[in-house]
Structure 1
Amino acid sequence: MIAEIGRFVRVQNTKLKADQKTLLILYYKQPDKVSDADLIRWIKYSNASRYRTEILKLLDDKALIHYENGSCTLLPKGIVYVEKNISPELIV
């Protein structure tokens, strides 16, 4: 589901939405913090400001991630969400 090439992480299921890709990457990288700049680059989100306010802030408001000072960490509620709602299968 995740491919890591050097310092680039890519979600292989292209049908997932940006918030789902974000959670999946954070799940994969846990317990490490991930910068919002890396997430924007890895997800290939074209509008960085919108991503920060509409995706990361919303996930933080739902207590799925902790987002502070440009760093994101998946919270226990986020772990449960990923395991229950995002299929680990690679869809081609």
Structure 2
Amino acid sequence: MTPDEILNDPGNQKHEVDIGVALIRIIELGCFNTTYLQSILKRQLETQELIKGNTEINKNVSNRLEELEKMISEVATEKYHEIMHKVLK
């Protein structure tokens, strides 16, 4: 059943969902979004370095990107644990 069919017939309570396909699609979208957001962050860092007039863009961007990704990972992990704690109560 497609999302359009579900929306067009909200009274139909019988929805079949292939959990395996749904999980694979979620993983696929997660990978895409991660790569997309990393490229945006890298581009922003490169732009900041150019505005500062720095010539060693790759080294500075690489170091800063690594720092930010570590920080983002820590915050995301903490938020994940908070959400899981609330769900498992």
Answer yes or no: same fold by TM over 0.5: no
Greater per-residue helix proportion = 2
Higher-Rg member (1/2) = 2
Q: Which has the higher strand share?
A: 1
Considering Cα pairs closer than 8 Å and 6+ residues apart, tell me whether 1 or 2 has the greater RCO: 1
TM-score by length of 2: 0.27
Q: TM-score, normalised to structure 1's length?
A: 0.27
